């Protein structure tokens, strides 16, 4: 029974490594837990999701409505570091955009709804 548990634990670590093709950090360093990600529709004539991994497709689906990195990680049930790499891939492909939360971007008070959403996302992780 212990061998089975060890195999299960090992597969939990191998899968994220496989998803990111061995990368351990995104190319960009501006992705935070509250960075907002939004899907960008491909230009006419370009393949929609061909060549993307299922996790990339899930992010594109979820981010049709702007979502925070923490919410995306919780929904995918993946570590935040892995999620950031996947988001970085989509930004590089021109399939997603990122921005800081509006409240932070304009320097006004924090948006409590966004903060609650981030908190709830972190609790699901």
Mean pLDDT by runs of 10 across the 125 residues of the chain is 48 62 77 93 69 90 95 92 93 92 56 76 78
Question: Tell me, what's the pLDDT at 34?
Answer: 92
Question: Tell me, what's the pLDDT at 18?
Answer: 74
Burial class of residue 116, CB neighbours in 10 A (0-12, 13-18, 19+)? exposed
Phi, psi of 38 (to 5 degrees): -135, 135
Q: Which residue has the tokens 């990122």?
A: 98
Question: Tell me, what's the pLDDT at 7?
Answer: 47
Question: Tell me, what's the pLDDT at 9?
Answer: 46
Helix (H, G, I), strand (E, B) or coil at 36: strand
Q: How far is it, in rounded angstroms, from Cα 8 to Cα 125? A: 19
Q: What is the DSSP-derived secondary structure letter of residue 62?
A: H
Q: How far is it, in rounded angstroms, from Cα 109 to Cα 23? A: 36
54-62 vs 69-76: helix axis angle to the nearest 10? 130
Query: Model pTM?
Result: 0.69
């Amino acid at each position: 029974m212990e061998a089975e548990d060890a195999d299960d634990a090992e597969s939990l670590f191998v899968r994220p490594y496989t998803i990111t093709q061995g990368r351990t950090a995104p190319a960009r360093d501006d992705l935070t837990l509250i960075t907002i990600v939004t899907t960008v529709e491909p230009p006419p004539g370009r393949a929609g999701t061909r060549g993307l991994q299922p996790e990339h497709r899930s992010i594109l689906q979820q981010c049709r409505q702007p979502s925070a990195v923490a919410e995306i990680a919780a929904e995918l049930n993946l570590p935040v570091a892995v999620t950031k790499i996947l988001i970085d891939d989509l930004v590089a492909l021109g399939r997603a955009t990122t921005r800081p939360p509006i409240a932070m971007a304009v320097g006004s008070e924090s948006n409590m709804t966004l903060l609650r959403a981030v908190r709830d996302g972190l609790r699901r992780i």
